[in-house]
Amino acid sequence: MMPQTQSNQTSIERVFSMGWMSHLEEDATFDPTASVTRSELAQVLGKSFKLYQRSTAENPAISIQDMGGDRPDYAAIQIALKTGTMTVDSQGRFFPDRPVTRAEGLAIFAQAYGVFQLSEDAVTDLLNDYPDAVDIPDWAKQAMATALQEGFVNTDSNQAIRPLDLMTRADLADALIQYLEKQQNPAFV
Instruction: State how far the alpha carbon of 158 is from the alpha carbons of 9, 84, 125, in Å.
Output: 22, 33, 17
Among 105, 91, 97, residue whose Cα is nearest residue 62: 91
The pLDDT value given to residue 62: 94
Per residue in 69-90, pLDDT tens?
Answer: 899 999 999 999 999 999 999 9
The pLDDT value given to residue 1: 34
| C-alpha 60, offset from chain centre | 24
The pLDDT value given to residue 183: 79
The pLDDT value given to residue 5: 39
Per residue in 29-63, pLDDT tens?
Answer: 677 888 999 999 999 999 999 999 999 989 999 99
Mention every residue, 6+ apart, whose C-beta is less than 8 A from residue 179. 48, 109, 113, 150, 152
pLDDT greater at residue 17 or residue 48: 48
The pLDDT value given to residue 26: 58
Give SS3 for 56.
Answer: helix
The pLDDT value given to residue 2: 33
Read off the pLDDT of each residue in 134-140 and give the average, rounded to a whole number.
95
Per residue in 160-180, pLDDT tens?
Answer: 999 999 999 989 989 998 898
The pLDDT value given to residue 23: 61
d(CA 189, CA 178): 9
The pLDDT value given to residue 10: 67
Q: Does residue 3 carry a pLDDT above 70?
A: no
